[in-house]
């Protein structure tokens, strides 16, 4: 089962804000059993927001967007999504009442900008926002379940935890672990990693991350992940593959004297 992630906002594209939302959403979807297939970042431009949803609907079983649900002129995610799929917008009464209540409590007036946050595509399921005004939206098109969430991390996070539970795949138990290897280069390790992955016939994924140098010696993190019919099986496969890697590294050290 595939998942896609959309992040909406100029501030992400131009690097003012680092895209931690996509990372948090990706992690939750991954541990719910999904293959994360594409991550798209688009500006606050209707044609691009429409392109992003169009590129994932039909291809991904779950799609999560964040950003563009606020009250300002450039918060246009919901209307862009609705236009793309020809869905009429309608005022969600409960959301409107919540926004009205928050507004009056603060001694403010209801404005069309506040009202906008209560407009949702007809047929949406509303995801309550316990820490802000704009609700999240759940919508199904074909085989794609779409979640449209706010961009403010605290608000996104408050919704994403429960979504992860809701969409969790029961047949997917992932486990991952990693080991740190010093003094052997990634290119020396590459054939061994391929050999071990072949041995497990696709049930194990091994990736090396050469990120650090310590006194000019190569330091590589080798990440091993596996999927099992339960968590114990996934753990067992990972442990076995790590043992194989350790043995290979022992042999490599003999050969290369690294």
Question: For the window 51-90, what string marks contact with a copy of itself as x by the rule CB under 8 A?
Answer: ----x--------------xxxxx----------------
Is the CB of 16 or the CB of 86 nearer to a copy of itself? 16
Burial of 219 from C-beta contacts in 10 A (0-12 / 13-18 / 19+): middle
> CA angle, corner 87, sides to 161 and 30, nearest 5?
25
Per CB under 8 A, the segment of 34-42, 161-169, 226-234, 242-250 that binds a copy of itself is 34-42
Whole-number Å distance between alpha carbons of 238 and 30: 17
Per CB under 8 A, the segment of 41-49, 76-84, 231-239, 240-248 that binds a copy of itself is 41-49
Q: How far is the CB of 123 from a copy of itself (least distance, A)?
A: 26
Compute, in degrees rounded to 10, the torsion defined by CA atoms 233, 234, 237, 242: -140
Question: For the window 178-197, what string marks contact with a copy of itself as x by the rule CB under 8 A?
Answer: -------xxxxxxx-xx--x
Q: 């798209």: which residue's tokens?
A: 40
Residues ≥6 apart with Cβ < 8 Å to 109: 103
Tell me how long the chain is: 258
Task: With beta carbons less than 8 A apart as the criterion, state whether 50 and 80 touch.
Answer: yes
Residues ≥6 apart with Cβ < 8 Å to 196: 204, 206, 241, 244, 245, 248
Whole-number Å distance between alpha carbons of 81 and 46: 8
Contact status: 36 vs a copy of itself (CB under 8 A): yes
Is the CB of 87 or the CB of 153 nearer to a copy of itself? 153
Residue among 105, 129, 133, 104 at smallest CA distance from 118: 133
Contacts to a copy of itself from residues 104-143, by CB under 8 A: 106-108, 111, 113-114, 117, 133
Q: How far is the CB of 93 from a copy of itself (least distance, A)?
A: 19
Q: How far is the CB of 27 from a copy of itself (least distance, A)?
A: 3
Per CB under 8 A, the segment of 31-39, 82-90, 160-168, 238-246 that binds a copy of itself is 31-39
Contact status: 17 vs a copy of itself (CB under 8 A): yes
Is the CB of 125 or the CB of 207 nearer to a copy of itself? 207
User: Binding residues for a copy of itself, per CB under 8 A?
Assistant: 5, 7, 10-20, 22-30, 35-43, 48, 55, 70-74, 103, 106-108, 111, 113-114, 117, 133, 152, 185-191, 193-194, 197, 205, 207-211, 223, 256-258
């Amino acid at each position: 089962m595939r998942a896609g992630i959309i992040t909406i906002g100029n501030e992400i594209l131009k690097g003012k804000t680092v895209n931690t939302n996509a990372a948090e959403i990706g992690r939750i979807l991954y541990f719910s059993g999904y293959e994360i297939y594409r991550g798209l970042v688009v500006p606050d431009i209707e044609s691009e927001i429409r392109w992003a949803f169009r590129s994932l609907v039909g291809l991904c079983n779950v799609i999560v967007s964040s950003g563009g649900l606020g009250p300002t002129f450039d918060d246009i995610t919901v209307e862009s999504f609705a236009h793309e799929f020809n869905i009429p917008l309608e005022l969600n009464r409960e959301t409107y009442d919540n926004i009205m209540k928050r507004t009056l409590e603060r001694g403010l007036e209801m404005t069309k900008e506040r009202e906008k946050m209560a407009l949702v595509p007809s047929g949406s399921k509303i995801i309550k926002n316990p820490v802000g005004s704009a609700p999240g939206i759940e919508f199904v098109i074909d085989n794609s379940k779409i979640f449209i969430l706010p961009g403010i991390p605290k608000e996104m996070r408050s919704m994403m935890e429960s979504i992860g539970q809701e969409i969790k795949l029961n047949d997917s138990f992932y486990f991952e672990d990693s080991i740190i290897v010093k003094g052997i280069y990634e290119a020396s390790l590459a054939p061994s990693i391929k050999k071990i992955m072949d041995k497990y016939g696709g049930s194990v994924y091994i990736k090396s991350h050469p990120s650090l140098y310590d006194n000019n010696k190569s330091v590589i993190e080798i990440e091993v992940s596996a999927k099992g019919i339960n968590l114990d099986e996934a753990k067992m496969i990972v442990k076995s593959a790590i043992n194989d890697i350790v043995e290979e590294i022992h042999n490599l050290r003999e050969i290369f004297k690294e």
